[in-house]
Amino acid sequence: MITLTHNKISLALHLLQEGSGPTLLLAHGLGESSPDSVPPVAAGWIGSVWALDFTGHGASTVPLGGGYTCEGLASDVDVALAHTGPATILGRGLGGYVALLTAGGRPELVNGLIIADGPGIAGGSTGPSSATWIDPAEYGVAPDRFALAELSIDVRPPDYATSFARLLLTQSPLEVPLVVTAKNRTEWLDAVAAEPGVITEPLIEALARFS
Amino acid sequence: MLIAHGGFDFAETFDRFAPLLADGGWRVVSWDQRGHGDSAHAELYSWDADLRDAVAVLRSVTDKPLPVLGHSKGGGLMMNLAEMRPDLVSAVINLDGLPSKRSVPDIADHERSKLMVQDLTNRFNFRRHAHEEVRRPGTLEGLAERRGRMNPRLPTEWLQYLVSVGAKQDDEGWRWKLDPSMKFGGFGPNRPEWGLGRMAGLQVPLLAVLGSEVEEMSWGTKPEDVEPWLPYGARFEPLEGVGHFVHIEQPRLIADMTLEFLG
């Protein structure tokens, strides 16, 4: 495990497989953490496989008093990319949405983004909503209760999500830089999947495309 | 009453205004928001975290509903607090915390997307090295002069006073206490005008004050942007010839307005 610094957070980045060829970076779902080994679906990947624990998850720092945003986690992914170099990102649920935000700003570092099913794929409302009062009894353990609460209600307007998809689609040198494999669709993901140039296919095929 | 400062400010920015409320018979409590003034530099920052911090402060003061007042971001926070925990708030006073639709320059779409890439790149680059950031040192007068560029309507003596309480001195000079990892800008899905939608649903008495003089820190909101969203019975005071820092430019006027409103 490698420890990276993102402001006051220590991020845990795990090397699951060392190999030559394209690099794969796994971004887990809400409440999850990095797997101990390469997931079976990615068994055919011959390059290196890294997995990142987001802030408040796995072996990364659990901050005091919450304050989570997907935009903040997008920098977690960017800090990981600074270490791994250009990589294909397989994002599960929340990790797929967060990696979309990163990919929009770092198209040169993302050799394909796969948005897959997983916890936290829905997010919260697509428009303004009431704030939620949370007062968790358990502090300091991963997954952080603040993360579970805050990142399951974050606002995800479809036009906001598609603006990042368009940045990736227009700036990436790849012919197909963005694949949606998730079957569980909410408004933001439907809008992203409908963008011209975005491919929808099974996860195993998406991984084969980028490997 | 609980009063909340604006973004990149701190509780002492009420040092001219709050005593006038106290003279009117109120116990006035404020706090430095996380990362600001003398409060801890937090690991994470968000609007919701600020709201929870506000409730923590409020609970340390009283277990009864009380009036809340906020300037700029603090005004938006207090309106959101009244919506999130209506059981804790008896009245809201919002001092020029009424953002409306962002004014976007009229540029072609492809130009805008280039701007966004640049914004995102700058943001990500900043975050990669945020842990190495330090506040730039300077003289007390120099920091006041820098702040004056963002607050051009405020007198030099006041800005220098703000440095004396909002900055600290070390061997290299004065530095703002504000967490250096906090930075203007950033990106996110929330739209400034959503706060007005929240305002429409408030049931407690509301006093909304708008500074009409546009300056660097202003939202550029016009009275006609606010009026359709006012809840029934709300008091709305657009002020001509006053900038964003209404309580610093016109402390007596705003204090009297507040005291009269609260009865």
Q: What is the DSSP string of A140-153?
A: S-SSPHHHHHHTTS
Strands (E), B96-215: 167-170, 173-176, 206-211
Residue A43, min C-alpha distance to chain B (Å) = 31
Probe site for chain A from B124, B190, B196, B198 (most A CB atoms < 10 A)? B124
Orientation of helix A70-84 relative to helix B109-128, angle to 10°: 70
**pLDDT confidence band for B217 (50 / 70 / 90):** confident
**Which tokens sit at A132?**
């939620």
**Looking at residue B108, what is its pLDDT?**
62
pLDDT band at B111 (very low <50, low <70, confident <90, very high): low
Across A5-31, average pLDDT: 97
Average pLDDT (B248-259) is 98
Chain A CB within 8 Å of residue B200 CB: no
Helix (H) and strand (E) counts for chain B? Answer: 10, 8
Name which of B44, B116, B188 is nearest A67 (Cβ-Cβ).
B44
**pLDDT > 80? residue B106:** no
pLDDT at A45: 98
Q: B52: which chain A residues are within 8 Å (Cβ-Cβ)? A: 65-66, 133-134
Nearest residue to B189 via CA among A100, A190, A93? A100
Cβ neighbours of A86 (radius 10 Å): 14
Tell me: pLDDT of A119 over 80. Answer: yes
Instruction: Provide the pLDDT for residue A133.
Output: 72
DSSP lists the bridge partners of residue A52 as A13, A27
3-class state of residue A89 by DSSP: strand
Q: What is the pLDDT of residue A134?
A: 74
Alpha carbon of B232 to those of B97, B207, B238: distances in Å? Answer: 19, 12, 17
> How many contacts, defined by CB atoms under 8 Å, are there between A and B?
115
CB B83 within 8 A of CB A131: yes
Rounded to 10 degrees, what is the CA torsion of A71, A145, A191, A108? 40
Task: Specify the pLDDT at position B193.
Answer: 84
pTM: 0.93
Q: Which residue of B has its CA nearest to A4?
A: B128
pLDDT at A138 over 90: no
Q: Do B181 and A7 touch (CB under 8 A)?
A: yes
Q: Is the peptide bond before A143 cis (omega within 30 degrees of 0)?
A: yes
pLDDT in tens, B35-69: 999 999 999 999 999 999 999 999 999 999 999 99
The pLDDT of residue B157: 96
From chain B, the residues in CB contact with A188 under 8 A are none
CA angle, corner A34, sides to A32 and A38, nearest 5?
130
Q: What is the dihedral of CA B162, B163, B164, B166, to 10 degrees?
A: 80
Q: Cβ contacts (< 8 Å) between B43 and chain A: which residues? A: 7-9, 55, 61, 63-64, 67
Q: Give A205's contacts (C-beta < 8 A, 6+ positions apart).
A: none
- Which strands, in side-by-side order, build the sheet including A199-200? A2-6, A9-17, A49-53, A24-27, A87-92, A110-116, A178-180, A199-200
For range B161-178, the mean pLDDT = 97
pLDDT above 70 covers a percentage of chain B that reads 95
The average pLDDT across B162-178 equals 97
Note the pLDDT tens digit of each residue in B68-102: 999 999 999 999 999 999 999 999 999 999 988 75
For chain A, the average pLDDT equals 95
Is some CB atom of chain B closer than 8 A to the CB atom of A145? Answer: no
Burial of A4 (C-beta count, 10 Å sphere; 0-12/13-18/19+): middle
